[in-house]
Amino acid sequence: MEYLIGIQGQDFVLVAADNVAASSIIQMKHDYDKMFKLSEKILLLCVGEAGDTVQFAEYIQKNVQLYKMRNGYELSPAAAANFTRKNLADYLRSRTPYHVNLLLAGFDDTDGPGLYYMDYLSSLAKAPFAAHGYGAFLTLSILDRYYRPDLTRDEAVDLLKKCIEELNRRFILNLPSFTVRLIDKEGIHDLEKLTLGSK
Amino acid sequence: MALQDLCNFQDIFQDSLTKLCFLGTFEKNTACDYVSSLSTRSSTSLFNFYIPAAEYLDESPIQFGQISNIQSSSAISSQESILSPSSLPTSLPFASSQSVPLPFPMSHGTTTLAFMFQGGVLAAADTRSSCSGLVACPASQKILPIHSHLVGTTSGTSADCALWKRILARELRLYQLRHGRRLSTRGAAKLLSHMLHPFKGTELCVAATLCGWDGGEVDDGCHAGTVIDLRGRGGTTKSEMTDQEKYLDTLNEKVSLPETQSSTFSEQYFARKKVSFSGPGLFYVCSDGTRLQGTLFSVGSGSPYAYSILDQGVRWGLTVDEATSIAREAVYRATYRDAYSGNCVDIYHITSNGWTRRTREDLKEEYYREKERRRHEGRGRQDVTVSE
């Protein structure tokens, strides 16, 4: 139903998420933002069960901000990803596990860009590209075929557009628009929303 | 003070005043400053929200009332299903595998809707309370006023909705007394959502839209730097910003971030406070945890029927009369098709002066009026063919 995708380049990470907030068969909102800003250079993309996504993502977001307030510097993306995974793992075998699938994308000043894939069983993997949702079945092979570690920004956006075209062609559900953001050493940039009509 | 005794409210402000001198930059005495700076200390919590908790609720709500293991394992699990039982009518309401069997069969049939337009917010709902195939009450009230400028439509279990609306009303009133201003609709939605969170996974079912007007709040004016909208509205040259979207952009609380990286911590922190605004607010809150802001929502078993009518006719520039008639028609069409909605329609209109309520209209009249109209049209067409 929901779709997340991330592509890491040489010095940037490109992420996109669909904009539909659904409740059983009805689209309640067409412009819902599934990305949560953890810090100046870290984004958390979160999909899954209805209330769990916002609760968990906001919890992580506030804790990362608290760390910055307490210590005077921000968590690195790797540290934030491991912190998120630890929280997911702690809640996994409790009475109230969080059923959320996440992508964490960030830029570290020393290590460069990073994309981390996490799922509801609290697995964590650093990957050059990743996707969540049913749409991932359709788009991962496109990413496998065309991805190169030295993609430029424009090439990465083109690759993203290829993936979304495939979704529009073959995916049974209607995902009309996608929020796209890019993280590099300058921070988080909003790119143009990709809608059905765009080539 | 009498109020302190009544609300069991410790005067936290006085105690913490001396301890807050390390945050040197702030001087203002407003309550919201205290809230934000107190959050850095975990010892005192300013908001002690009382959630009714009988002894049996000290255990996990999932474990409550387990009768026998055999019974619980044979029931269908509804946790993993995509279609939640609350939004579609079920002929036999089933209990999830881990909870107590329902005392009597319940179903969640209703049609409620709410939308924003230039004249404020309009909320409409039917008045039928059903209970597994029976009409338990043909004249129930599904839109409950919470305070003078906030109204909530209810869907789901009537008892749960009525209770949680009252709890929300109490908490909002306490907030107003403590801070001297009304909590915004966004804040009320967040509050309700967080109060319902412990009950996620239980049989509690509340799907409400909060429709309100926020107004006249004091802007403490301590934000600096440019305002960045994080909602991904990049590329404004290509995207068409309609009137409604422009209005929403100005309305939406934006987080302001200082551009320079050399600003001190406290400046950055205070700059992150939200800009307050005056205007309509519409939020959908569900007991499964969903919390959405929007301009048009419809909830309940009749909501798909209502959505199709509303999507055709609702625009920002509607007049109040046009908006009322489209809301009435949407509820009417939903009650026509959905067995669990019917009887009458309630319409509430919220403006900066508060909410006003139209007299309840019986949809039976609407049905007969439409029948008359159809008959006239049919006769008109017959006349045309005869004359040819």
Domain with residue A127: its CATH number is 3.60.20.10
Asked if residue A128 lies in contact with residue A105, where contact means CB atoms within 8 angstroms, the answer is no
Residue B239 identity (one-letter amino acid): S
For position B253, what pLDDT does the model report? 43
Distance CA B298, CA B311 (A): 11
**What does the pLDDT read at residue B388?**
53
Compute the distance between CA of residue B76 and CA of residue B208 in angstroms, rounded to an integer: 26
Q: B292, A181: Cβ pair inside 8 Å?
A: no
Distance (Å, rounded) from C-alpha A164 to C-alpha A157? Answer: 10
For the CA atoms of chain B, what is the radius of gyration?
25
Cβ separation of B193 and A29 shorter than 8 Å?
no
Q: Which long-range contacts (CB under 8 A, 24 or more apart) does B68-75 make?
A: B71/B101, B72/B97, B72/B98, B73/B97, B75/B101
Beta-strand relationship, B112-117 and A35-39: unpaired
Give contacts of B233 with chain A, Cβ < 8 Å. 190, 193
Element (H, E) at B371: helix B363-387
Q: Cβ A192–B83 below 8 Å, yes or no? A: no
Supply angle C-alpha B31, B34, B35, rounded to 5.
90
Whole-angstrom Cα distance, residue B110 to residue B65?
A: 29
B197 alpha-carbon distance from chain centroid? 15
What was the pLDDT predicted at B95?
40
Burial of B180 (0-12, 13-18, 19+ CB in 10 A): exposed
Interface touch B286/A23, C-beta < 8 Å = yes
User: Which residues constitute the domain of residue A149?
Assistant: 4-195
Which pairs from A136-143 meet CB under 8 Å and 24+ separation? A136/A3, A136/A5, A138/A163, A138/A166, A138/A167, A138/A170, A138/A171, A139/A5, A139/A163, A139/A166, A139/A167, A142/A166, A143/A7
Report CB contact under 8 Å: B82, A35. no
Tokens 């107003």 sit on residue? B176
Nearest chain B residue to A37 by CA distance is: B230
Residues in A whose CB is inside 8 Å of some CB of B read 1, 21, 23-26, 28-29, 31-33, 35, 37, 49-52, 54-55, 66, 69, 72, 95-96, 179-181, 189-193
- Predicted local distance difference test score (pLDDT) of residue A186: 93
- With vertex at residue A111, the alpha carbon angle to CA A109 and CA A115, rounded to the nearest 5 degrees, is 105
Nearest by Cα to B35 from B225, B203, B178, B217 = B178
The answer to whether the CB of A129 falls within 8 A of the CB of A141 is no
Task: Give the one of A24, A49, A191 whose C-beta lies nearest to B88's C-beta.
Answer: A24
Residues of A in contact with B238 (CB under 8 A): 192
Sign of CA dihedral B43, B48, B49, B51: positive
pLDDT number for residue B168: 94
Number of domain units in chain A: 1
- Tell me which H or E stretch contains B297: strand B296-299
pLDDT of residue B75: 39
With CA atoms as reference, report the closest residue to B155 among B108, B202, B121.
B108
Euclidean distance between CA atoms B138 and B140, whole angstroms? 6
> What's the rounded Cα separation, in Å, for the pair B106 and B328?
27
Q: Judging by DSSP bridges, how do beta strands A112-118 and A100-108 pair with one another?
A: antiparallel
Rounded CA gap, A172 and A164, in Å? 13
Q: Would you write out chain B's pLDDT as a tens digit for each of its 388 residues?
A: 565 565 565 555 444 444 444 444 444 444 444 444 444 444 445 556 665 555 555 555 555 444 444 333 433 333 433 433 444 443 334 444 445 555 554 546 889 999 999 989 999 999 998 887 788 888 889 999 999 999 999 998 888 899 999 999 999 999 999 999 999 999 999 999 999 988 888 888 899 999 999 986 444 444 433 333 334 333 334 334 454 555 555 444 444 344 444 444 444 444 444 555 788 999 999 988 899 999 999 998 888 889 999 998 899 999 999 999 999 999 999 998 888 888 899 999 999 999 999 888 888 888 888 889 888 888 877 766 665 5
HEC readout, B155-194: CECHHHHHHHHHHHHHHHHHHHHHHCCCCCHHHHHHHHHH
Q: Which DSSP string do the residues of B313-339 spell out, in sequence order?
A: H--TT--HHHHHHHHHHHHHHHHHH-T
DSSP string, chain A: ---EEEEE-SSEEEEEEE--EEETTEEEESS---EEEEETTEEEEEEESHHHHHHHHHHHHHHHHHHHHHHSSPPPHHHHHHHHHHHHHHHHTSSS---EEEEEEEEETTTEEEEEEE-TT--EEE-SEEEESTHHHHHHHHHHHH--TT--HHHHHHHHHHHHHHHHHH-SS---EEEEEEEETTEEEE-BPEETT--
**Regions of chain A with pLDDT less than 50:** 199
Distance CA B119, CA A195 (A): 31
Please, is B260 exposed, middle or buried when counting C-beta atoms within 10 Å of its C-beta (0-12, 13-18, 19+)?
exposed
- Please provide the distance, in angstroms rounded to a whole number, between the alpha carbons at the two ends of chain B: 87
Contact of B38 with B22, CB cutoff 8 Å:
no
Cα gap B82→A134, rounded to integer Å: 14
Tell me the catalytic residues of B. 110
Cβ-Cβ contacts under 8 Å between A and B: the total is 81
Closest CA to A196 of A174, A180, A170: A174
Q: In this complex, do B291 and A25 lie within 8 Å of one another by their Cβ atoms?
A: no
Q: Which chain B residues are closer than 8 Å to A191 by Cβ? A: 234-235
To test the contact with chain B by mutation, choose from A1, A24, A172 the residue with the greatest count of B C-beta atoms within 10 A, namely A24
Measured between CA atoms, how close is B159 to chain A, in angstroms?
A: 22
DSSP label at B231?
S
Q: How far is B301 from chain A (nearest CA, A)?
A: 11
∠ CA B177-B182-B183, nearest 5°, is 110
Between B84, B288, B292, which is nearest A32 by CB?
B292
pLDDT at B26: 43
Query: How far is A55 from B37, CA to CA, in rounded Å?
Result: 22
- State whether residue B261 is helix, strand or coil: coil
Q: A14: exposed, middle or buried (C-beta count within 10 Å: 0-12, 13-18, 19+)?
A: buried
Q: Angle of helix A50-71 relative to helix A77-92, nearest 10 degrees?
A: 130
Euclidean distance between CA atoms A2 and B340, whole angstroms: 30
